[in-house]
Chains A and B, each alone.
Chain A
């Protein structure tokens, strides 16, 4: 086996435990997107074009509420800004690669690909072929995400309206929120954003969401800086 394929398969193997959580998540996304009124093709293409779990769930919610396109795109941008941290953290490790490699690996750079990759880099250090590891994790996740979305769309069509399936969306957000409440600034960011979202609920174009997010982010950052 070449060094490249050895690294690639190491990445694939490192990704497998994460797929247990990703697969049902992809299925839930597919079912909810269809339930929110997205055409099946759009729901599937969002998984391949945007390829970002939380942003896709949030887009689904906003489409359900007939939010203007611009606000949805802005929200996707805010939600995915955290990937800039991953981009910053991997940048020195990928610096020697061609632009084409950089672009491919950036496209595949999700939470679930980043996490095992950065652990690998920290353990093994930088080797000439370590970017193949990231390709392995990223591609494994990509394929799983496409397949699970398709299955969710397929099954979602069979779920009756009375099941209140739409409530699974805020529940998904709750499941994502609780683990990030690790310290006081994070809790303050969440509570303040939530309260502003309630107060500003009736603002047009769902601007309340953006306002609430900005207030929460500002309060969290301020509290961390003043600690």
Chain B
């Protein structure tokens, strides 16, 4: 793992994306479908990261109640839904995982 390469390329690409249309203004047309598709990047990427963290334990799909991370994650989803607050969500999920690990 070369983390410095990731930093360099990740930084260049991020800057390139932000600079792209500001720089190319008037020279390219931004397709409408692309504009729509970009709205679905956050929900798609985020849940592609979340699902395996909650439902896969030791390499296998684990939907049982012993899966503490699944339960704590579902609690966090409910808290996020009602609070709309990042910090409260993280604290609630961490507290839930801690209690589950401690008492069960």
Contact = CB atoms under 8 A, between A and B. Distances in A.
A91 B25 contact: yes
Interface residues of A, number: 95
B12 to A, nearest CB: 9
A221 B36 contact: yes
A171 to B, nearest CB: 4
15 contacts: A59-B10, A69-B5, A81-B41, A83-B18, A106-B23, A163-B94, A167-B53, A167-B72, A167-B94, A167-B97, A171-B89, A186-B40, A189-B44, A213-B48, A221-B40
A72 B45 contact: no
Given A58-B45, A87-B22, A225-B33, A49 B11 contact: yes
Contacts, number: 264
A178 B14 CA distance: 24
Contacts of B2: 69
Interface residues of B, number: 68
Interface string A203-220: 000001100111111111
A4 interface: no
